[in-house]
């Protein structure tokens, strides 16, 4: 049975003075094994082992799971794993994140005055983990987050007409989805609640932005960045007054 080395996880959880890079490689290697394993329960058992060893949920969400997603993509680029492996592994990563969020939801609540953000993953996007991670980070800051994955036009219009968002964040990972992303940007600006002084800023992030593509100009977004603090400051939110709330 695939299992993470207990002493490695224990050292990570206890934050002892050890070779952090070595620990990171060991954890990621075991996680990748679980994600592409023929055993459909391998990832769930691995997550439970990490939970028993008290690895903080925030470390998993902000660091380990995203790094595993990048490692899957890199392995596919090198022809070390198949597209099917990447697809299944990505689905399992999202399942792990949902499991973590369900167990920690009671510890997260919006803070008055912290702002409200709409996060959109457009239709045809295959990569949703980044949007899920960013949404979780903002919720831990106290921001009210409305996450919509592949929403329909009518749903977006209703949200924009009835909610007063400080920003709209859009995740785009594939160049073939830029036309669709551009339509979402136009819809945001057209569907803003009547009587508002201005539409909320539209901020685009995702793999294309991280790769240096000029996505912002292509879809006429107000800002293109993968830096969450930059995005929040651009939206007029008090980043310095917000802080990631860590669980004990």
Closest CA relative to residue 170, chosen from 213, 223, 217: 223
Closest CA relative to residue 47, chosen from 9, 86, 8: 9
Provide the pLDDT for residue 49: 86
CATH topology classification for 6-107 = 1.10.1240
Mean per-residue pLDDT for 234-240? 83
- pLDDT per position as a tens digit, 72-118: 888 888 888 898 898 899 889 988 988 888 776 655 656 666 789 99
Q: What residue ranges of the chain are covered by domains with CATH 1.10.1240.10?
A: 6-107
- pTM, whole model, 2 decimals? 0.76
Which CATH superfamily is 116-241 part of?
Cobalamin-binding domain (3.40.50.280)
Q: What residue ranges of the chain are covered by domains with CATH 3.40.50.280?
A: 116-241
Provide the pLDDT for residue 192: 62
pLDDT of 4 above 60: no
> Coil, helix or strand for 167?
strand
Mean per-residue pLDDT for 232-237? 91
Beta bridge partners of 170: 120, 204
């Amino acid at each position: 049975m695939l299992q993470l080395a207990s002493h490695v996880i224990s050292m990570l959880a206890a934050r002892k003075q050890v070779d952090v890079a070595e620990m990171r490689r060991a954890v990621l290697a075991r996680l990748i094994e679980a994600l592409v394993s023929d055993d459909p329960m391998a990832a769930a058992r691995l997550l439970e082992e990490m939970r028993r060893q008290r690895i903080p949920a925030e470390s998993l969400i902000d660091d380990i799971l995203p790094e595993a997603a990048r490692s899957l993509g890199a392995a596919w680029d090198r022809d070390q794993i198949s597209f099917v492996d990447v697809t299944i592994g990505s689905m399992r990563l999202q399942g792990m994140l949902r499991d973590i969020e369900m167990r920690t939801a009671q510890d997260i609540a919006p803070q008055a005055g912290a702002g409200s953000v709409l996060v959109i993953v457009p239709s045809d996007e295959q990569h949703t983990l980044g949007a899920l991670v960013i949404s979780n980070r903002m919720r831990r800051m106290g921001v009210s987050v409305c996450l919509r994955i592949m929403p329909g036009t009518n749903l977006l219009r209703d949200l924009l007409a009835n909610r007063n968002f400080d920003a709209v964040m859009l995740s785009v990972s594939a160049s073939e989805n830029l036309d669709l992303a551009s339509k979402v940007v136009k819809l945001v600006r057209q569907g803003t609640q009547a009587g508002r002084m201005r539409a909320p800023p539209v901020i685009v992030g995702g793999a294309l932005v991280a790769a240096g593509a000029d996505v912002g100009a292509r879809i006429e977004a107000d800002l293109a960045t993968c830096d969450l603090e930059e995005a929040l400051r651009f939206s007029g939110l008090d980043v310095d007054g917000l802080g990631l709330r860590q669980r004990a």
